[in-house]
Structure 1
Amino acid sequence: MPTQRTGRPLRIATWNINSVRLRRGLLAELVKALDPDVLCLQETKCPDELFPLEDIRGFGFPHIAHKGMKGYNGVAILSRLPFAVRDEDPDWCGRGDCRHLAVSLDAPGGPLELHDFYVPAGGDLPDRAANPKFAHKLDFVAEATAWSAARGARPRSVLVGDLNIAPLENDVWSHRQMLGVVSHTPVEVAALTGWMQAGAWHDALRHFVPPEEKLYTWWSYRARDWEASDRGRRLDHLWVSPDLAGALGRHAVLKPARGWPQASDHVPVMIELLL
């Protein structure tokens, strides 16, 4: 049976932690601020044998799945609710590079399919021919789109993660100035939009924040004062299947986390589902 506390929504959060071992202490701050039932991490940068299981169990997550490698990439799902790990999903681009983890969550009302993605960043040059990293990003999203199209809209499904694309004009600080910058180029925006449409996914953050309003989840380390300049991007996403759109209760973007000591350049984001 689900171990979620009776009478409260299901809280699902996502965070590119940018090294789970370096920032494991910040998980306590996240739990204090958001109190999630499920937390999906990206860029854990940790081989499986070194993943800090005991520390994370101490933060209230007895159920943990992780897929990692030394120095880069890596995803993890931390949960108060039991789950079964899915093992039938693709090895994206045949690289085995730990960018996707999925579980069937023992949620109120029945199993909930949860996917945690870390899409390639794509390097600095938005040119497929000249930049293999950008080509890899586009190929990854194309494979994910074909996968979603083949499966169709799946009921009781959630997809979260650092998708490394800010699709809407107000997902970046300046649409005009960002059109040639990797993460907001027209080809990337079209690719991510195609992925959403292929799976009939519903954008849970924009469910609450209208498209005409600015919405960011990432602020560069390069900014001398990230808060004053506020040149952000929405790179982190939470999507739900159409049948769950009506169950969305609220969202949270934990912007203060960007100012934590040794902060990630991404902040945690959460949705509540009234199941």
Structure 2
Amino acid sequence: MVTVATWNINSVRLRMPIVQRFLTEQSPDVLCLQEIKCQEDQFPYEAFHALGYEHFAVHGQKGYHGVATVSRVPIREFSRHDWQDNGEARHVGVELPDHQGMIVENVYVPAGGDEPDREINVKFGQKLDFLERMTRWADKVDRPTLIVGDFNIAPLESDVWNHKQLLKVVSHTPIEVESLQRFMDAHGWADIGRQHIPDPQRYYSWWSYRAKDWQANDRGRRLDHMWASPELAKQATGHRVHEDARGWTQPSDHVPLVTEFTL
């Protein structure tokens, strides 16, 4: 058994208390963090060591973005892809040598700005180009691979609080959904979340900070994902969404997802 978690933490140093709570309560073997918002030498290694997480792959950046994979089982950094094509720290991949050489890719897809039009919004164009580069990479994947992280796209109608109202809102527009589908098709990825929480069941992983009462409004979106290569997906035995973390002290606007595998 190996358990893998993913969480856009929105500043790991600021939110280390809730990371500690999550690791103490859930004890995943591997935790993939996005938006760590610090350079590699600023990462809170000692706090993770104290919890038994002694293996790291950190791709940091000053003040923005950044991804980190921490583990209590041995990992080996496997790859760093610049799918943004501008040097931003948005990806790190690791190998789990003691777990059939499983690969875990940790990615933070750009949000894409506010206007879903690449002609007037450079950030939206960068997001679509990022997805295209990921798709070309996925076509060549030849190992048992799990790709996780903040994809910043809610593809299904049941992945958002109101499909019709969000059709022209970045993260749920048809062009983004189509781009993400091409990425899925390039390797035949299995959507682990929906494998265990089938559509059309409600499934959200993000609630805006702008809502005064996120639970009462429940205007969520499923922006975070865990997708597995076909054979690996068959070994996924459980999947959980930790919505309660959105209500913890000084929370991230995202919540953790956890998948269990029997390898």
Asked if TM exceeds 0.5, the reply is yes
Matching residue of 1:239 = 227
User: Match of 2:19, SS?
Assistant: helix
Asked if the contact 1:81/1:106 (under 8 Å) is kept, the reply is no
Q: Give the alignment partner of residue 37 of structure 2, picking from 42, 45, 55.
A: 45
TM value normalised by structure 1: 0.93
Matching residue of 1:31 = 23
Asked if the contact 2:24/2:51 (under 8 Å) is kept, the reply is no
Matching residue of 2:179 = 191
Q: Give the alignment partner of residue 139 of structure 1, picking from 129, 145, 156.
A: 129
1:130 pairs with 2:130: no
1:251 pairs with 2:239: yes
1:148-187 map, 5 Å: 148-149=138-139, 151-152=140-141, 154-187=142-175
User: Match of 2:209, SS?
Assistant: coil
Structure 1, gaps ≥5 residues long: 1-8
What code does the residue aligned with 1:172 have?
V
Q: Give the alignment partner of residue 206 of structure 2, picking from 210, 218, 227.
A: 218
1:191, distance to aligned residue in structure 2 (A) = 0.5
Matching residue of 2:95 = 104
Matching residue of 2:191 = 203
1:111-126 map, 5 Å: 111-126=101-116
1:13 pairs with 2:5: yes
User: Match of 1:21, SS?
Assistant: coil
What code does the residue aligned with 1:76 have?
A
CA distance in 2, matches of 1:140, 1:19: 22
1:32, distance to aligned residue in structure 2 (A) = 2.6
**Poorly superposed stretches of 4+, deviation over 6 Å:** none
CA distance in 2, matches of 1:247, 1:112: 12
Q: Deviations over 1:62-116 (max 9, x none)?
A: 10110111111000000111121124x53223211000000111233x2111100
Asked if the contact 1:120/1:164 (under 8 Å) is kept, the reply is yes
Aligned length: 263
Matching residue of 2:65 = 73
CA spacing shift, 1:122–1:53, aligned 2, 3 Å:
same
Matching residue of 2:86 = 95
What code does the residue aligned with 1:39 have?
L
The sequence identity of aligned pairs, in percent, is: 49
Tell me the C-alpha RMSD between the 2 structures: 1.0
What code does the residue aligned with 2:93 have?
A
Asked if the contact 1:27/1:59 (under 8 Å) is kept, the reply is no
User: Match of 2:31, SS?
Assistant: strand
CA distance in 2, matches of 1:85, 1:155: 15
Matching residue of 2:217 = 229
CA distance in 2, matches of 1:93, 1:231: 29
User: Match of 2:101, SS?
Assistant: strand
Q: Give the alignment partner of residue 268 of structure 1, picking from 248, 256, 259.
A: 256
Q: Give the alignment partner of residue 63 of structure 1, picking from 50, 55, 61.
A: 55
